[in-house]
Structure 1
Amino acid sequence: MARRRKGRDISGWLVVDKPAGLTSTAVVNKVRWALQAQKAGHAGTLDPLATGILAVALGEATKTVPYVTDALKCYRFTVRWGEATNTDDAEGEVIARSDERPTAEEIEAALPAFRGEIMQVPPQFSAVKIDGERAYALAREGESPELAARPLWVESLELVDQPDADHAVFEMVCGKGGYVRAVARDLGEALGTHGHVTALRRLWSGPFEEEDAISWEELEALAQSPELDARLLPLEAGLAELPELRCTAEGAARLRNGNPGMVLNADAEYGETAWASWQGRAVAVGTYRAGELHPTRVFRG
């Protein structure tokens, strides 16, 4: 007999403005406790140094996490020139120094090479797995793991401020799997110096923005109260960037049983991922084909 989960069967999204110093896992655990929820997960890790938007899914909404994780995200970050660290951020040890400092014109000239489809080598202190072990675990043991370059889509990368010769502030919109720390490292090398991240904030993540977020102080103050329940966004918020296809009652019943179901409109292209709704509620996510949705994930009604 399966063990029954403790907590409430509650579904939806709580968007948290993560403070610096906490892991993403710690935030998820706090949200689960604050809402007494059975199940929770987040859509995209933030480093402990980072602040900003961390979207936490609860219950049935965890089935929509991949669609938020795959969506574009926006970061504002500060790079410190002239120093490389072993973690590529301010939490690591300085391993190299340079007296070179790039001008604004030199920075602007280097940025186009970091836009579009690029290849990026993750930081050695990262969660990438090498022969079953995390790269950061190997790095902590003094090893220098060889990490393969991976493709990353960078929608935009702009210089937004240069407060002094040692620092520059950027905004970047990128796809899944990007490391801002690696951008700072590689940009420093391209400019003939070194660079590491000293501040990082996620401004938005897929459909979730700062205006949707609850602060850490609010989360603690409203824990286990109806007021916190009221801050939940619906499950459907995680599907906002996918086409919505309305279905009939019969179609909804078929979809909930895992079978293809007829949809009433075709705002999606053939073969595109979309979601079906019945009376305003998500029924399933799947592939649209000739008037039907073929489900890959089904939501409990």
Structure 2
Amino acid sequence: MDTDSLRWFQLVADGMTVTEVAQTYAVSQPGVSRALARLEEQVGTPLLRRSGRLLRLTQAGAAFKRHVDSLVNDLDDGLAAVEQVLDPETGLVSLGFPMSLGTWFVPNVIRDFARVRPRARFALQRTSVGEPGAPSKLLVAGDIDLEITTSRVFHADLEWRRVAIEPLLLCVARDHRLAESTSVDLADVAGEPFIMRRAPSGMRETVLELCAAAGFTPSIAFEVDDLPTVRGFVGAGLGVAVVPALGRRVPTGLGPVRFVPLTDTGAQRDIGLAWLTERRLLPIAEAFRAFILGGGRGSRARSAAH
């Protein structure tokens, strides 16, 4: 079976006339009709029946159509993959990243990459929270090309490189006694309730380590699943929190909360890029990796303390 016959069968089955198919492919109408007739001979049964100007699917045709759709889609994916290999200016980069980087870092670096590779396309995947230091299952399984992480990751089959350092901030309610401070130590809030990310969380582990270095164990009032919820609880006056800067210049406010720089040593987190060492990336994904590792404009985390 030639692929043109299968594509023409798809179009006719989806409601186009033979004349319209012929015009779309710049071939003769009898040529399309003969191709459809040959396809029916190869299958061994009528696939189409005439209904006025249109051809309708027979029962056998409807059963066949589902598999033709799948086959042609797979074929098109294969052709697209070849196109990516042959043309390093285009193609698809599959990229994973955590939610906290989706509001600033990832869109910025993609924007800047698009200035040099405007035809690049991206398939974006949110990576789920796992054990601290562990890469996402998507990357380990090879379902994505590259993963942007918020901490160093370790795995025998992966390589990881730091690409930026993001400051951590103290988040307090706007009426908090430290809300107007230009900087603070964690020891300044040692006796206050903390809003903390639920385990497993690399951010949680970092906060616990920072508190221990400051000489106290935080009193955890609430454990929540994401940063917007952390801010909501802090804004309601239910506690304080340590949060990433997310590209903000501080001190600054956001709704009912205020972000203040921390002076504690280690009050920061790594932003890095990870990939499978044995996986050969297509040229466009390789170009994106080189762009980030080379300090592409959007890949630099802005210091929230300046």
TM-score, normalization by structure 2? 0.27
Name whichever structure is richer in strand by fraction.
1
Structure having the larger proportion of residues in helix: 2
- Length-normalised TM-score, structure 1: 0.27
